[in-house]
Amino acid sequence: MNKSKVVIDTNVLIAAMISKQGKAYKIFAAIGTELFDTLISTPLILEYEDVLKRLLGTKIKLSEADVDLALDFICGSGIQRQVHYLWRPYLSDPKDDMVLELAANSGGDYIITYNISDFAGSEVFGVEAIIPAEFLARLER
């Protein structure tokens, strides 16, 4: 069976950095395993870094070095892709467009997000927006 190719939305990564108890952390912990392939791009990693570091000391109780290690882990484990074709504007938020374009240009199967409605219409590109709990449930099947 082919491994799913996923793009992890920033809100899922934030949730994983806030707590080790939830589904988001389970997905983060599975990056780089045989369960799925994580698609990344330079703009997405830069967004991760920007948002995570802005939340340090407030929502995220990690050090800047911890965030850098997490990002290094994602960069080392993910499949780097360059997006050569843009559909903007397609979604209401340009940062969501960036996530969708990465998934669509890279043959992604899923965008793992807590904001499913933000990715309405992603199915046109063969990409399903899915919440972490549902993605984990599908992995167990």
Q: Quick: pLDDT tens for 27-79.
A: 999 999 999 999 999 999 999 999 999 999 999 999 999 999 999 999 999 99
Q: What per-residue confidence (pLDDT) applies to 88?
A: 61
Angstrom distance (rounded) from CA 36 to CA 3: 5
Question: Smallest Cα–Cα separation from 46: which of 13, 19, 92, 16?
Answer: 13
Please name the fold of domain 4-140. Rossmann fold (3.40.50)
- Map tokens 């290690």 to a residue: 69
Question: For the chain, which residues make up each domain, given as ranges?
Answer: 4-140
Q: What per-residue confidence (pLDDT) applies to 91?
A: 75
102: pLDDT confidence band, cut at 50, 70 and 90?
Answer: very high
Angstrom distance (rounded) from CA 62 to CA 56: 7
Name the token pair of 39: 């698609």
Q: What per-residue confidence (pLDDT) applies to 106?
A: 94
Angstrom distance (rounded) from CA 123 to CA 103: 11
Which tens digit of pLDDT belongs to each residue from 1-14?
A: 589 999 999 999 99
Q: Is the pLDDT of residue 83 over 90?
A: no
Angstrom distance (rounded) from CA 83 to CA 110: 17
DSSP 140: H
Q: What is the mean pLDDT of the chain?
A: 93
Angstrom distance (rounded) from CA 78 to CA 42: 11
